[in-house]
Structure 1
Amino acid sequence: MQQPMTAYRPQPKVVDLPFSLQDIKEAIPPHCFESSVVKSLSYFVWDVFIVCVLYVIAHSLDSWFFWPIFWAMQGTMFWALFVVGHDCGHGSFSRYKWLNNLIGHLSHTPILVPFHGWRISHRTHHKNTGNIDTDESWYPITESKYNEMEWLEKFVRFKMVLFVYPLYLFKRTPGRKGTHFDPNSPLFRPSEKWDVLTSTICCSLMIGLLGFLTYQWGFLWLVKYYLGPYIVFVMWLDLVTFLHHTDPDIPWYRGENWYFLKGALSTVDHDYGFINDIHHNIGTHVAHHIFLTMPHYHLKTATEAIKPILGEYYRKSDHSILDAFIRGYNNCYVVPDEGGKVYCEPREL
């Protein structure tokens, strides 16, 4: 049963932002755009070190009282490694493409993310953020598309939001065709074939390794040492990306109403408390969407610098992480079929 349509919001005329991309860039200290190989590598090495330490502790204790704690901690570190690979995908890890690709694969392959396949689709997301017709991920469904969806598809899309990332890698999201593992997918250009194949092969080898170790030590080993942390990692990834782009107050645009900077500002910063440093301040997301190649360790400085320029256009949630999630989960289902500037509306399955 569908809920009644929410109150109509008058559609304002298309108005350009009162500042330009250059205005924002000039407000940021120049060093924020520079990456350091040593600093970037230090984050990667530290994350790997913590992952190894946690495995040693878990293996030594081998206690069912500790395994759930281990899963939560190790899954969070898997998520931190993903963020390091995320910087590699944007080229903000270093100026060297070969190093970005190497660390990107070392960060993403162990957590079964096809680095190049993800990198390319994520590039599409950043180029089209806030565009209801062309954004790649976490965009709301139009009213007509929602009415065409089967109940099961709606359930997975709207009720299983913290577990859908593996499915997205294989199937993308409603209205988008292709897979992140096939170089012939519409996601990719012909020139990107070998990049995609390389990452697919790496993930296949990782699955083979996990299969071999499971054969040697049993399915319980897989659950304790890998599946537990992996599920927590997926939940972190889905939670954070959902919160960045899912809020009833975030506008979505169509046609000439959209351009890059307006779309980039249709995202929200969130405060994750002590987790901020662990997952490399990925919650500082507005500045990241404006300047994709800015290293994560400069985002906080850049954000403080651009706040006076952005003014009311800068969005940071005043809600706790749980409240913000519930707010988006209950209210962000569909957008109207028409309108240059639209907002999410709630529905019931």
Structure 2
Amino acid sequence: MGAGGRSIPPSAKKENPVALGRSPYAKPPFTLSQIKKSIPPHCFQRSVLRSFSYVVYDLTIATFLYYVATNYIQLLPEPLHYLAWPIYGYIQGCVLTGVWVIAHECGHHAFSDHQWLDDTVGLILHSCLLVPYFSWKYSHRRHHSNTGSMERDEVFVPKKKEGLQWFAKYLNNPPGRVLTLLVTLTLGWPLYLLCNVSGREYDRFACHYDPHGPIYSDRERLQIYISDAGI
């Protein structure tokens, strides 16, 4: 019996199959090329001077923060001394993320009109941050080419239900999600580079530091060696 003594028809208890369908989809009234043409031409011009100004700006701030931390944190009282180092690490990490992004743009050939200059700057900056520049450049490029593909995307590939680990069901709750988020933010990046965690499946072990791994083609292997040497 329902509320007020009225019985609920059996058909009303069944889920509406239409409600479970995908959201309505309609082709947009514009194309990607039209969007690109609407952007002013100067936005596509790559200025070496402007690009290097970002490098100098970020490195100047990073150097200043390092100087302040190494010369003044030790002068603080002991409780504040231990608190100041993590705060410094967080702020410095934000600044160096900007340096990481500049090297990322080098990998997309967005730093200058010269590929050799982009690769040189990107290799130096990423190597200083312990990132294998060419290794990640190639895998990341394939990620952009195959975004959304369950079979060919290089990273952030969702696991199929049958591929979930036995402990996945214990993490499907708020505390478990917080734990997963913490692990992702601290260990996710190095584990992806080392073991291809969250990456696509290969027929053998995949590692960004392995020049002969399945991630790379024969013509890319020499540059993977260069990335390893840079680190």
Same fold (TM over 0.5): yes
- Paired letter, 1:151: F
Q: Could you tell me the TM-score, scaled by structure 2's length?
A: 0.76
Please name the residue that 2:4 is paired with. Answer: none
2:219 counterpart residue number: 191
Contact 2:124 2:230 survives alignment (8 Å): no
Tell me if 1:172 matches 2:168.
Answer: no
1:143 — aligned with what? 161
Q: Where do 5+ consecutive residues of structure 2 fail to align?
A: 1-16, 75-80
Aligned partner (choices 22, 28, 32) of residue 33 of structure 2: 22
SS at match of 1:62: helix
Distance 1:62 1:13, change over 3 A: closer
Residue 56 of structure 2 corresponds to residue 45 of structure 1: yes
Output the CA distance in 2 between the equivalents of 1:9 and 1:107: 48
Deviation, 1:28, is 1.0
Question: Cα RMSD over matched residues?
Answer: 2.6
Q: Percent identity?
A: 33
After superposition, the C-alpha distances for 1:99-143 in whole angstroms (9 at most, x for unaligned) are 111110221111111000111111011111122332222232222
**Aligned partner letter, 1:106:** I
Deviation at 1:176, TM superposition (A): 2.5
Q: Structure with the greater relative contact order (CA < 8 A, sep ≥ 6): 1 or 2?
A: 1
1:229 corresponds to: none
Q: Specify the structure having the higher radius of gyration (Cα).
A: 2
Give me the whole-angstrom Cα distance separating, in 2, the residues matched to 1:16 and 1:122.
28
Normalised by the size of structure 1, how large is the TM-score?
Answer: 0.51
- Which letter maps to 1:133? E
Uncovered stretches (5+) of structure 1, i.e. residues with no partner: 1-6, 204-349
In the alignment, the residues of structure 1 paired with residue 108 and residue 90 of structure 2 have an alpha-carbon distance, to the nearest angstrom, of 27
Query: Is 1:91 aligned to 2:109, yes or no?
Result: yes
- Equivalent residue number for residue 8 of structure 2: none
Partner amino acid, structure 2, of 1:73:
I
2:124 counterpart residue number: 106
1:115 aligns with 2:126: no
How far apart, in 1, do the equivalents of 2:28 and 2:212 lie? 39
